[in-house]
Amino acid sequence: MTLTPKPGVLDIDVYVPGRSQAAGATRVYKLSSNESPFGPSPAAIAAYEDARKLLGMYPEGTAQILREAVAAHFGLAADRIVCGNGSDEILTLLANAYVRSGDEVIFSEHAFSLYKIATLANSGVPVEIPAPELLFDVDAAIAHISPRTRLVYIANPNNPTANYLPSAELRRLHHALPDSAILVIDAAYAEYVRRNDYEAGIELAGASRNVVMTRTFSKVYGLAGIRVGWGYCPKAIADAVNRIRAPFNVNVAAQRAAVAALGDRAHIEQALRHNEVWRARLIEQIRAAGYRVDDSVANFILIHFPDLPGRSSADADRFLMSRGIILRGCASYGLPQCLRVTVASEEGNLAALAALRDFANRR
Ligand SMILES: Cc1ncc(COP(=O)(O)O)c(C=O)c1O
């Protein structure tokens, strides 16, 4: 017998990360991975450096200090929080724990690509719901629920479309799910949303037996490099995930830096204020330069390009890269005519705007 991976594994398209290099450019602006232009809080950096004393020993295995800090910060039960090596890990562990061969996993077209990867890795069946308006279609998702449905992943807000599903719609989706399926609310960008009809999912996860909310320290907390995320789960789900989680999955420096990051509210507020101001300016000015841009509730913006020679997203990408401006191509999200731009530092935003204007004005 030949050696082959589990069914589904070889159907996986390898995850395409945001690029970080622009050959030949003297100054590079990486606006491709939705990282915070402010980086981590100085307190988080100090905690990280202090963790050098502990490098020789295993960390506490359940990320207790972090679970307790998150619980206190958000008013949650610490024993229902599971921390991960990025929220990616929690999203993956949920599939590993619950998806059997042939089980169905629902997610939207143009959603975060990890959902499909985690499904196929468990020999599950991806059920991708068309999103003609680029928004999660609740009615279509409900129509696809079956006895084989095990997970429904929704990124809220969604990456890369930067839109969100209002709370009433999220609850309507949950209401239609049987107890045998879990609604996984991936709220990686929750902090950035300022809408009265939005909820990250804390109350839903707190009050239901089949809702998990995931959050990350990679975005507004500026800690993408050391990989910390967490999920708020019903007790039985936390128990299942903890059984298959690697015993020391969140390293000691990550635990300590994340606790410190949570405590520095001023740093977070500053990053959020900057995002509010620059997101609005970027949308307005990119539109003024002649591009089609969707509204955004997150820290990134989706720009649409016409499928015309010399004006396409690929042409724009080449032009921007030659100026050292790295955006995120969206072909792997099923949006080949779009580029995604992260709200960056003032300098990075101005450089991106200038390059986009110059590209639009090219003859
Ligand atoms: C929608 C969404 N969910 C989850 C993640 C993963 O975040 P983490 O760095 O916590 O693994 C990302 C990262 O880009 C994301 O865009």
Between the CA of 134 and the centroid of ligand 1 the distance, in Å, is 19
Length of the chain measured in residues: 363
Residue 45 CA from chain centroid, whole number:
23
Top mutation candidate among 85, 186, 296 for ligand 1, by most atoms within 8 Å of CB: 186
**pLDDT tens across 265-276, in order?**
999 999 999 999
Between the CA of 127 and the centroid of ligand 1 the distance, in Å, is 20
Residue of higher predicted confidence among 352 and 1: 352
Torsion sign (Cα): 342, 345, 346, 349: negative
pLDDT score recorded for residue 24: 79
User: For residue 26, with 0-12 CB atoms within 10 Å meaning exposed, 13-18 middle and 19 or more buried, which class applies?
Assistant: exposed
* C-beta separation of 120 from 8 below 8 A: yes
End-to-end alpha carbon distance in the chain: 60
- The pLDDT-based confidence of 29 (bands split at 50, 70, 90) is very high
pLDDT score recorded for residue 50: 98
Atom of ligand 1 nearest to the CA of 224: 9
Between the CA of 87 and the centroid of ligand 1 the distance, in Å, is 6
pLDDT score recorded for residue 255: 98
Atom of ligand 1 nearest to the CA of 91: 4
Atom of ligand 1 nearest to the CA of 215: 10
Rounded to an integer, the average pLDDT of 303-321 is 96
pLDDT score recorded for residue 363: 64
Counting residues of the chain whose pLDDT is more than 90, the rounded percentage is: 95
pLDDT score recorded for residue 342: 98
Confidence check: pLDDT of 69 > 70: yes
Rounded to an integer, the average pLDDT of 174-178 is 98
Between the CA of 36 and the centroid of ligand 1 the distance, in Å, is 13
Rounded to an integer, the average pLDDT of 294-299 is 97
Atom of ligand 1 nearest to the CA of 111: 1
Which residue is closest in CA terms to ligand 1's atom 12? 188
Asked whether 155 lines ligand 1 (CB < 6 A), one says yes
Confidence check: pLDDT of 299 > 80: yes
Task: Provide the H-helix boundaries in the chain.
Answer: 42-50, 64-74, 87-98, 114-121, 138-143, 167-176, 202-207, 235-244, 252-263, 265-288, 313-322, 346-361
Asked whether 159 lines ligand 1 (CB < 6 A), one says yes
Top mutation candidate among 159, 165, 192, 217 for ligand 1, by most atoms within 8 Å of CB: 159
Atom of ligand 1 nearest to the CA of 87: 10
- The pLDDT-based confidence of 17 (bands split at 50, 70, 90) is confident
Atom of ligand 1 nearest to the CA of 85: 11
Confidence check: pLDDT of 310 > 80: yes
Asked whether 115 lines ligand 1 (CB < 6 A), one says no
- The pLDDT-based confidence of 40 (bands split at 50, 70, 90) is very high
Which residue is closest in CA terms to ligand 1's atom 6? 88
Confidence check: pLDDT of 172 > 70: yes
**pLDDT tens across 205-220, in order?**
999 999 999 999 999 9
Separation between Cα atoms, residue 21 and residue 30, nearest integer Å: 8
Rounded to an integer, the average pLDDT of 313-341 is 96
**pLDDT tens across 124-171, in order?**
999 999 998 999 999 999 999 999 999 999 999 999 999 999 999 999
Mean pLDDT, the chain, rounded, equals 96
Between the CA of 33 and the centroid of ligand 1 the distance, in Å, is 9
* C-beta separation of 222 from 39 below 8 A: yes
Confidence check: pLDDT of 26 > 90: no
